Amino acid sequence: MDIILNVLIFIKTIKTTTNMSGGVFDYKQYNIAMIADEVEQIILNNGRPKTQEELRDSWGRDNSWYKTHPEDLNHYKYPDDVIEEFKKGLDILRKAQVYAQRIDWLVSCDDSEESFHRRLKEDLNKLAK
C-alpha cells in the first residue's frame, strides 16, 4: 500500500513540473481504484486460512494468542449474500474509476469528446472481460 501512495505522490510531483494528462480531480480516481483493490482482496480472502506471513504480521499476537483464539487463524468469513454484494460493489467501483478517469481527461482537454466516448467504451469493455 505504501508503494502505491508513493507512486501517487510521484505522479502529482510530475504533474506540477511537466505537462501530464488529467488532474482536474487531483488524481483521486486512483483512490477509487485502491478501494476497489481492497474490496477485491476481502472477497479473495473470505474465510481463507492466513499464511504464516500474515500470522506473523498480526500486531501483538503470538502463538499463545492463536491457541485461545483459533478463529483468528483465518480471515473473517462473510456470508455468501454479503460477498455477492461486495462483488456488485467491486463492479461499481471499477466502473466509477473508469468514468472518473475518462471525465478527467475530457475536462482537462486531454481528450476530445470523440476520443472520450471511444476510450470510455474501450475501458468499460476491458472491465467486462
pLDDT tens digits for range 22-77: 788 888 999 999 999 999 999 999 999 999 999 888 887 888 888 999 999 999 99
Task: Find the length of the chain.
Answer: 129
Structural domain contains residue 13: no
Q: Which three cell numbers stand for residue 41?
A: 482482496
- Establish if 9 belongs to a structural domain: no
Residue 15 confidence (pLDDT): 47
CA angle 78, 91, 110 (to 5 degrees): 145
Query: Is residue 110, in this structure, part of any structural domain at all?
Result: yes
pLDDT at 57: 83
Query: Is 50 contained in some domain?
Result: yes
- Quote the pLDDT of residue 19: 53
Q: What is the DSSP letter of 48?
A: P
Write down the pLDDT at residue 17. Answer: 43
- Residues spanned by the domain of 89: 28-128
Beta strands (DSSP E) in the chain are none
Task: Report d(CA 93, CA 107) in Å as an integer.
Answer: 21
Predicted confidence (pLDDT) per residue in 5-26, tens digit:
555 555 555 444 445 677 888 8
Closest by CA position to 83, among listed 21, 41, 128:
41
| pLDDT tens-digit readout, 66-105 | 899 999 999 999 999 999 999 999 999 999 999 999 999 9
Has residue 71 been placed in a domain? yes
Number of domains in the chain: 1
Q: What is the pTM of this model?
A: 0.76
Rounded CA-CA distance 63/73 in Å is: 10
70 belongs to a structural domain: yes
